[in-house]
Structure 1
């Protein structure tokens, strides 16, 4: 039962990030609400409201058709314009910053809810128009349904104003960086809180039994408790060979077990791991480092030439690295019967090298950027860490950055300026 709920949660988490998810749900809600209003109108709801609030009721069938038709045409135009704005936002973000940003922007619930409100209102008004006859008498017109259509239209106009404001904010690089940073930091803090298990040494797995995946995908989530139960049941230790968040190719070795497992047991382990064809920062904090690094690198390219954006990106990388230093490279999970499981991870050394390799390549010729990167590394060097090796990894990156900067910079003044920062 637990595995079933995990599957449902992973499926919902994946589908929720699609741009059509909330609009589809709200469109169905608009259709159902239209049917409900038709039923209530058959029960004489408009007649009762007409006697109490006659000024709010439309008393002529032609007038009702005209009002709803105008509302329908205006809403369709607004929806088309809104979708065009979303597509423009995605195109601009992809061209100016990074294509990796698109899943995060598409999954913005505010945009989805506004588009869903437009679709729900349009469908509601269409079905309300079916119930109006031009020759209807005063008490035969579905006045409450018409009034609800007008209120929906007003709500869409108000939400459209908010949509324009929000989409103008969403394209600003500071807001994009801030959103990525917050999601990654929340994910890191969650991992730090949940990884407080044993950190004992794990045995060498070279001689263990290996098992391959039948279908590839991005390794997103895993049910640790369920797999530990499998370890107890089969009296074995398990090692997941691919780090969480990375792509696991089909027919690649993904699982190792100290004792041989039958196909049913392997399938049970894989069933407790979710794979996807895309990546989201809230599921994989490593993606945030990739995205922010790509933004900085693209900002320093000759076509963009925006060092201010690159400096902002390095500021966010500094905070993320500081948070990552509070997480261990390896954590071993222990079952009730003292059987262990470990998941491969991207070490801090690998992570900082991948980020710095890109930054050095595109920023080593700019003295201001070199100073900013060295400031980041020196700041990280004095931060508290979970493992002492992190300090040596940072010092190695400082030495490499200094060496490449001296080779790239031609001015002695620039070289002397970075020397004081590099060896603080």
Structure 2
């Protein structure tokens, strides 16, 4: 029962990234609030306010209907325009930058809330309009509710103005890159801080019992706290073999356990793995390296030819790599100085190769971009504390110079690149 509840909570948590989640919640709130106002109107709230503050109550049926009808039609037009602007943003980001950016743009919380404000006001106005009855001697027009619709309309117009400002900012590649970088940076810093608390080494898991994945998909998240509780409760150690964020095929080795355990415990461990068909940076910082690299490569394509964007992307990659070299290739979770959970991730060698390989393929013809990449690698070599990391960086420098020598026609440009490397090594 607890395992099913955890899965339901995870699915509910993922709903927040869907474009329709918050608008739906706010729209339901609009319907509920309209019914509350209907109840208050039946209790005579408009009649009561009319006696003390008549200027706050609209007491003409035709005026009220005209106001509500105008609000409904106008807001529907505004909502259609806003939705069209979002589609333009997504189409431009996909064609000019990278299709992988779309999930992050769709899950923009501010735009979801603005869409919800529109729906709230439209639904509220529709219900109040239906509530207005033909005039009669004993009938009191819901004037106070109509007055609130004016307030909600003004609020919607303010949200629309903010939306225009926000969408103009979101469409800029600098802001897109910064948002990707910021999410990954925060995630990396948290991991590095946790790693500093570990004072034990990784146990040997070669002879541990292996268990395969039951389904395929992107291995996005895992509940380490629940796994830690299972490990302590059953006196076992667990190693997560599959890399977080990678695509896990069915029947591939998913995790290992240091001893044989009951099937009920195995099922509890399986229930803590969450697979999906998409990737999010909040769940996996490695996706930021992939997205920023794709933006840099796409910007250097003949159809776009935007070296400035590539340089900005490389700057962000440089900052992320400087953080990454402060981290080990594995994550360890301990309890009372005993390692209970081992989390494998993409090692530094594979990570930097996956970033540099496409950049070397598409960008080595541009001497400015090559120099920028050399600056990145040289800074990384200075920041690296492990000799293995430094060896990996030196290897990438050699590969970059070889590709640059082949692609750069002007020998003087290439000699300046070699001169930069020589001066950096002397310093």
TM-score calculated relative to the size of structure 2: 0.94
Task: Give the deviation of 1:176 after TM superposition.
Answer: 0.2
Equivalents in 2 of 1:204, 1:295: separation in Å?
39
Which residue number corresponds to residue 282 of structure 2? Answer: 282
C-alpha displacement of 1:130: 1.1
Q: Which residue of 2 aligns with 1:80?
A: 80
Who is 1:48 aligned against? 48
Residues in 2 aligned to 1:198 and 1:381: alpha-carbon distance in whole angstroms: 25
Question: CA 1:247–1:257 in structure 2 vs 1: closer, same or farther (change >3 Å)?
Answer: same
Determine the structure 1 residue equivalent to 2:393: 394
**Matched position secondary structure for 1:331:** strand
CA drift at 1:420: 1.8
Asked if the contact 1:212/1:253 (under 8 Å) is kept, the reply is yes
Give the deviation of 1:53 after TM superposition: 2.1
Contact kept? 1:62, 1:134, Cα under 8 Å: no
Is the contact between residue 231 and residue 339 of structure 1 (CA under 8 Å) also seen in structure 2? no
Q: Deviations over 1:299-331 (max 9, x none)?
A: 001111111100000000001111111111123
Please give the alpha-carbon distance, in whole angstroms, between the structure 2 residues aligned to 1:201 and 1:68. 67
Match of 2:360 in 1: 360
Q: Write the distance in 1 (CA, Å) between the matches of 2:319 and 2:159.
A: 35
C-alpha deviation, 1:150, in angstroms: 1.2
TM alignment of 1:13-412, pairs within 5 A = 13-136=13-136, 140-195=140-195, 196-205=197-206, 207-335=207-335, 338=338, 340-385=340-385, 387-412=386-411
Instruction: Determine the C-alpha separation between the residues in 1 that align with 2:4 and 2:189.
Output: 26
Q: Distance in 2 between matches of 1:2 and 1:244?
A: 24
> What per-residue deviation string (whole Å, max 9, x for no partner) do you get for residues 351-398 of structure 1?
11100001100011111110111011111111153x332111111111
Q: Does the 8 Å CA contact 1:198/1:331 hold for their aligned counterparts?
A: no
- In the alignment, the residues of structure 2 paired with residue 333 and residue 57 of structure 1 have an alpha-carbon distance, to the nearest angstrom, of 63
Distance in 2 separating the partners of 1:410 and 1:269: 57
Please say if residues 332 and 339 of structure 2, whose CA atoms lie closer than 8 Å, have aligned partners that are also in contact: no
Matched residue of 1:382: which SS?
Answer: helix
Q: What's the CA shift for 1:111?
A: 0.1
Contact 2:203-2:339 at 8 Å conserved across structures: no
**1:63-121 deviation per Cα after TM superposition (whole angstroms, max 9, x unaligned):** 11111000110001111111111111111101110111011001111000000000011
Change in CA separation of 1:3 and 1:383 when aligned onto 2, cut-off 3 Å? farther
Range 130-139 or range 153-162, more displaced: 130-139
Write the distance in 2 (CA, Å) between the matches of 1:278 and 1:330. 23
Aligned-partner SS, 1:140: coil
The size of the alignment, in residue pairs, is: 422
CA 1:348–1:257 in structure 2 vs 1: closer, same or farther (change >3 Å)?
same
User: Are the equivalent residues in 2 in contact too, given 1:65–1:134 (CA < 8 A)?
Assistant: no
Question: CA separation in 1, counterparts of 2:134 and 2:66?
Answer: 10
- 245-254 vs 289-298, greater mean Cα deviation: 245-254
Provide Cα deviations, 1:161-196, integer angstroms capped at 9, x if missing partner.
110110011010000001001000001111112233
Asked whether the equivalents of residues 198 and 333 of structure 2 are also in contact (C-alpha less than 8 Å), the reply is: yes
* Residue 406 to residue 199, structure 1, CA distance change in 2 (3 Å): farther
Supply the distance in 1 between the matched residues of 2:19 and 2:233 (Cα, whole angstroms): 42
- What is the alpha-carbon distance in structure 2 between the residues aligned to residue 327 and residue 421 of structure 1? 28
After superposing the two structures, state which structure 1 stretch, 263-272 or 157-166, moved more.
263-272
Query: 1:2, CA displacement in angstroms?
Result: 8.4
Structure 2: gaps spanning 5 or more residues: none
Bigger drift between 268-277 and 73-82 goes to 268-277
